[in-house]
Amino acid sequence: MFAILSAFLAPIAVAIGYSAYKAREFERAYPNIGELTDIGGYRMNAVHIPRPLTADLPPLVFVHGASGNLLDQMGAFLAPLQGRAEMLFIDRPGHGYSERGGPDNALPSGQADAIAQLMERKGIMEAIIVGHSFGGAVAAAFGVRHPERTKGLLFLAPATHPWPGGVDWYYRVATAPLIGWLFNHMLVIPLGMRRLERGTRNVFRPNARPRDYISKTAPSLVLRPDTFYNNARDFVGLLGYVKKHSPFYNRIKAPTVIITGDSDDIVWEHLHSQGLARDISGSELVKVKGLGHKPDYLATDLAIAALEKIAGKPRDLRAVAAMVEERLAAANGAQAFEQASSPAPAVAEVC
């Protein structure tokens, strides 16, 4: 009996040990560059760029999407906005190097409250909140729950409204009792490492992913068992949350811009972005032809123009969007030509 039990448990122990080793390896490759701040029983991680003397914009708070961390938004916005504003790049609770906190932090409302507390600790009275994808749900919750701290809202391919269907099977497995723990500690890292290249390319589709995106944004950090569990909890709870809370978006009065692509296969713009434009009175929706799910990287100039407009500067966002569309059309055409000219791979891609 002991031999049978050992033969059963040994591969489990090996798999768990391998995942623990790889998780530490990810953290050595991508150490925390932020600062952990206690906000009342747990710590939030963020990179805080103090207000420069040359600032011409109000403070900006950046909220990353699902499966991400603060490096994602930093990679898009830190350099082009350097010297123009105080900036706060946040690891959402339970992501990157932020601690999870209580059960409320599995919901956009709890994460919005956590961000408000962190802003207070950093001395930021009000800011333009920038939310990408899942971060859009957090930004919307922030606008509803903390209007006094909301200078404006910029939504980038936001996930904010109910959609038909549910979430991928592995998120439900990851949150299941017992089997979820085993799945997260045994299988997520080896399976996730095999899908990382393809998955990040799919997030940018139909546009090209920047060649250095993985090395600069550390998406492998989400494969750590606890982080993957938190990410899965976020996903599993989002649909029920937006069903209940999206009717309150009409309470938002802050200046709002929504930037979305007509080729986004990750978050459907006709449900989410158009829903926000309908629900938030006075908001401006900018839909970009040929753009997928990453306007933060592929329409950064448009996003910055939107921040300027929210701050009160005269900006024609439609004109900027037209320039982005021309640029994307040229890039997408070149990409299609390159793919058509390349020989077929000798080995099929592993799912």
Domains of the chain: 2-311+318-341 (3.40.50.1820)
SS3 215: helix
| CB-based contacts of 271, cutoff 8 Å, min separation 6 | 161, 162, 163
The conformation of residue 112, written as its DSSP 8-state character, comes to H
Give the global pTM.
0.93
pLDDT value at residue 341: 47
d(CA 101, CA 94): 8
The owner of tokens 């994602």 is 72
Q: Name which of 74, 78, 134, 130 is nearest 108 in CA terms.
A: 134
Per-residue confidence in pLDDT tens, the chain, 351 aa: 555 555 555 678 889 999 999 999 999 999 999 999 999 999 999 999 999 999 999 999 999 999 999 999 999 999 999 999 999 999 999 999 999 999 999 999 999 999 999 999 999 999 999 999 999 999 999 999 999 999 999 999 999 999 998 899 999 999 999 999 999 999 999 999 999 999 999 999 999 999 999 999 999 999 999 999 999 999 999 999 999 999 999 999 999 999 999 999 999 999 999 999 999 999 999 999 999 999 999 999 999 999 999 999 999 999 999 999 999 999 877 665 455 444 433 322 222
C-alpha count within 13 angstroms, C-beta hemisphere, residue 244: 9
Would you say 136 and 124 are in contact if contact means Cβ atoms under 8 Å apart?
no
Residue matched to tokens 């710590």: 43
Rounded Cα gap, residues 332 and 339, in angstroms: 11
Nearest to 70 by CA among 99, 100, 92: 92
Report the distance separating Cα 262 and Cα 335, nearest Å. Answer: 18
